[in-house]
């Protein structure tokens, strides 16, 4: 398995993903609200793992520039169709990973990664890359499923079985404490760690971290 195989998985899944409903709409709205509070009109923003662009389309009008990226061409194609139907001048979609943005070193005031870090193959390396992409004191804002805090049957039985038949991508299993350590170890200070679930079952900590 590789990043290329991950891209193929999400390409195959893109139409189904686009049709799926947000599992916790109230929690999602809370995440958008808190994120907007950290964004300024002069900010240059990067979103990693943007999927079909739903979040980018909600946030991009409030900043100077917003580059939304995903490794899946299928996801980005759907996002670009949405943008054509509902133009936002500040928003640009691009097929790319964090590792492919090396020429954008120090460009961004804020990097966003929602439902993203658990899917990358090299979390420490990706976080170091994000650190490099940010301006000094720039913010990394994330919301990440932490399988280590969930029912162990999910990570030990369900996910391996689904991956074996091509029904699930690569997924990392860590808990909130380990995620905290990964982020701080990559050169960030954590400013906020929140839970936005509306039903109390979500284990996706919302973290705001500042580049040291």
Q: Is the pLDDT of residue 154 over 70?
A: no
Return the pLDDT at 156.
Answer: 46
Residue 63, phi then psi, degrees to nearest 5: -130, 170
What distances in angstroms separate CA 98 from CA 159, 177, 206, one per listed residue? 25, 24, 20
pTM, two decimals, is 0.91
- Pairwise pLDDT comparison (172 vs 144), residue with the higher score: 144
Q: What is the CA radius of gyration of the chain?
A: 16
Q: Which two tokens stand for residue 167?
A: 């029904």
Q: How many residues make up the chain in this entry?
A: 212
The Cα 22–Cα 6 span in angstroms is 22
From start to end of 61-202, where are the E strands?
65-70, 91-95, 108-114, 134-143, 188-194
Find all residues with CB under 8 Å of 189, minimum gap 6, and list them: 209, 210, 212
Band (pLDDT 50/70/90 cuts) for residue 165 is very low
What backbone phi and psi angles, to 5 degrees, belong to 183?
-70, -45
Q: What is the mean pLDDT of the chain?
A: 90
To which residue do tokens 């979500």 refer? 202
Residue-wise pLDDT for 107-138, tens only, equals: 999 999 999 999 999 999 999 999 999 999 99
Check residue 158 and give its pLDDT. Answer: 46
Highest mean pLDDT of the ranges 5-14, 32-41, 166-175, 194-203: 32-41
72 contacts 11 by C-beta, under 8 angstroms: yes
The pair of structure tokens assigned to 36 is 């907007």
Q: How far apart are CA 94 and CA 136, in angstroms?
A: 24
Strand partners, 45: 66, 110
3-206: CATH, from 3.40.50.150, 2.60.40.1120, 2.40.30.10, 3.40.50.300: 3.40.50.150
Residue 173 has a pLDDT of 86
Instruction: Parse the chain into domains and list their residue ranges.
Output: 3-206
Local confidence band at 203 (pLDDT 50, 70, 90 cut-offs): confident
Classify residue 162 as exposed, middle or buried by CB count within 10 Å of its CB (0-12, 13-18, 19+): middle
pLDDT for 19-38, tens place per residue?
A: 999 989 999 999 999 999 99
pLDDT given at position 157: 47
């Amino acid at each position: 398995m590789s990043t290329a195989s991950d891209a193929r998985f999400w390409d195959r899944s893109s139409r189904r993903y686009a049709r799926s409903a947000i599992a916790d709409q109230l929690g999602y709205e809370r995440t958008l609200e808190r994120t907007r509070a950290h964004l300024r009109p002069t900010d240059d923003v990067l979103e990693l793992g943007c999927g079909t662009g739903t979040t980018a389309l909600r946030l991009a009008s409030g900043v100077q520039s917003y580059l939304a990226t995903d490794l899946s061409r299928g996801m980005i194609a759907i996002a670009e169709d949405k943008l054509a139907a509902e133009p936002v001048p500040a928003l640009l979609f691009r097929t790319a990973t964090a590792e492919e943005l090396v020429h954008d070193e120090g460009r961004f005031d804020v990097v966003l990664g929602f439902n993203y870090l658990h899917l990358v193959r090299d979390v420490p390396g990706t976080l170091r890359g994000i650190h490099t992409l940010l301006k000094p004191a720039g913010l990394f804002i994330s919301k990440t499923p932490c399988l280590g805090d969930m029912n162990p049957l999910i990570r030990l039985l369900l996910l391996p079985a689904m991956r074996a038949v091509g029904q699930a991508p690569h997924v990392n299993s860590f808990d909130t404490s380990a995620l905290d350590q990964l982020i701080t170890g990559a050169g960030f200070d954590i400013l906020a760690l929140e839970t936005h679930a509306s039903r109390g079952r979500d284990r996706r900590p919302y973290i705001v971290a500042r580049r040291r």
